[in-house]
Amino acid sequence: QVQLQESGPGLVKPSETLSLTCTVSGGSISSYYWSWIRQPAGKGLEWVGHIYSSGSTNYNPSLKSRVTMSVDTSKNQFSLKLSSVTAADTAVYYCARDVGVFDYWGQGTLVTVSS
Amino acid sequence: QSALTQPASVSGSPGQSITISCTGTSSDVGSYNLVSWYQQHPGKAPKLMIYEVSKRPSGVSNRFSGSKSGNTASLTISGLQAEDEADYYCCSYAGSVIFGGGTKLTVL
């Protein structure tokens, strides 16, 4: 059974860079796309972007200028960096396996942007 | 790209059927059969319920069904049960990924 676990700081200061890592267990990260999806409190889901195990990426156009994703196949991990954050980036961030649908999800991690 | 349009809330009594609509455009929902639905209970991660418009993943009850007509996809839940009370999100995977705004289902 594939399992995903997000990790990273729960508090980030405005204008700084949010950094999260997703660790995949129970299966290989290779040959799949992996997505980041976020959800502000009380609001809907927003796709941030995805990365293939080879490193190719596709980002949400609304966030593209601030997003960088990377993958480390040796550690079965992939990562998200979101720069120049504001309070509007406060959300629960989920990582998920992306096979054209999101079939496995992490439990989510709350990231708060505040000074 | 705008979010897909869903009703904010729907409700039904146990045993009844409800339908949640998801309206997009000819560039997303209308052009591809890559529409999926997710169920989310409070404080939990979303769960895949329907993919490719009408297919159910293994383990999902056959009380859940999906369909599409033109630019609108629909999720129908028959034989409503208390545990179906949750938020439901549609999703179009057409080049980029767009979610609906979500629908809160209340089981009366």
Chain A residues interacting with chain B (CB cutoff of 8 angstroms): 35, 43-47, 50, 58, 60-62, 94, 100-103, 105-108
Residue B50 has pLDDT above 80, yes or no: yes
Token duo for residue B66: 């999906």
For residue B102, the chain A residues in CB contact (below 8 A) are: 43-45
With a pLDDT cut of 70, the percent of chain A lying above it is 100
Residue A77 has pLDDT above 90, yes or no: yes
Please state, in angstroms and rounded to a whole number, the distance separating the CA atoms of residues A95 and A106: 5
Average pLDDT score over residue span B92-99: 89
Helices (H) and strands (E) in chain A, counts: 0, 11
Average pLDDT score over residue span B59-88: 97
- Give the angle A62-B46-A103 at the CA atoms, nearest 5°: 90
Instruction: Check B97 against A108: CB less than 8 A apart.
Output: no
Instruction: Check A94 against B45: CB less than 8 A apart.
Output: yes
Average pLDDT score over residue span A1-26: 97
Cα dihedral sign, A36-A100-B75-B55: negative
- Per-residue pLDDT band for B2 (boundaries 50, 70, 90) equals confident
For residue A38, the chain B residues in CB contact (below 8 A) are: none
- Chain B interface disruption, residue of A33, A36, A45, most B CBs within 10 A: A45
Q: What is the per-residue pLDDT for B94?
A: 83
Burial of A45 (0-12, 13-18, 19+ CB in 10 A): buried
Count contacts between A and B (CB, < 8 Å): 51
Task: Enter the DSSP assignment of A100.
Answer: S
Average pLDDT score over residue span A80-90: 98
Please state, in angstroms and rounded to a whole number, the distance separating the CA atoms of residues A1 and A66: 33
Average pLDDT score over residue span B35-41: 98
